[in-house]
Amino acid sequence: MMRVLFICLDCGNPFFERNPEATHRCGTCGSSAVVKHDELRSGALALKPAAYLWLLHDEHSIPPPPPPWEVISFPKNAAALFSVMGKARTPERRQRAAELMLIEAGFPEEKARGLAKGMYP
């Protein structure tokens, strides 16, 4: 059976599991807010344009961006990604989960950290 890479959205711990359909917990922090690496990448890539527009709006006071449904098309797994992010128990962990998604989408770590702080102050 093939091993699947998972990422913990609370602490960022990557780990492999043989049964991708089972419920998983992070071995480091015990969180159930885990997602398959492939799903994280596809979801984060879909979020990138909207996040970038909000960043420009905040930093340069340009007019507000268009509604998200006009900017991005969410992948089929978007609902699952948001529900997993919702499992994070504290604002700091939600912030870290958002930061990880933005890093996976290609943002530099410092920029992703700043965006995530803006999403969950």
pLDDT in tens, 34-52: 777 776 655 543 444 444 4
Give the pLDDT score at 13.
76
Give the pLDDT score at 22.
75
Domain that holds residue 62: 4-119
Domain count, the chain: 1
Give the pLDDT score at 40.
61
- Which residues partner with 4 through β-bridges? 17
Confirm if 101 and 81 have CB atoms less than 8 A apart. Answer: yes
- Name the strands in the sheet holding 4-8, side by side, starting at the edge strand that comes first in the sequence: 14-17, 4-8, 34-36
Give the pLDDT score at 17.
84
Instruction: Give pLDDT < 50 ranges for the chain.
Output: 44-56, 60, 62, 65, 68-77
**Distant-in-sequence, close-in-space partners of 95: CB < 8 Å, separation ≥ 6:** 116, 117, 119, 120
CA distances from residue 11 to 7, 56, 100, 102, 112 in whole angstroms, order as listed:
9, 28, 9, 15, 15
Give the pLDDT score at 111.
82
Q: What is the pTM of this model?
A: 0.38
Specify the 3-state DSSP secondary structure of 71: helix
CB atoms within 10 A of CB 85: 21
Give the pLDDT score at 67.
52
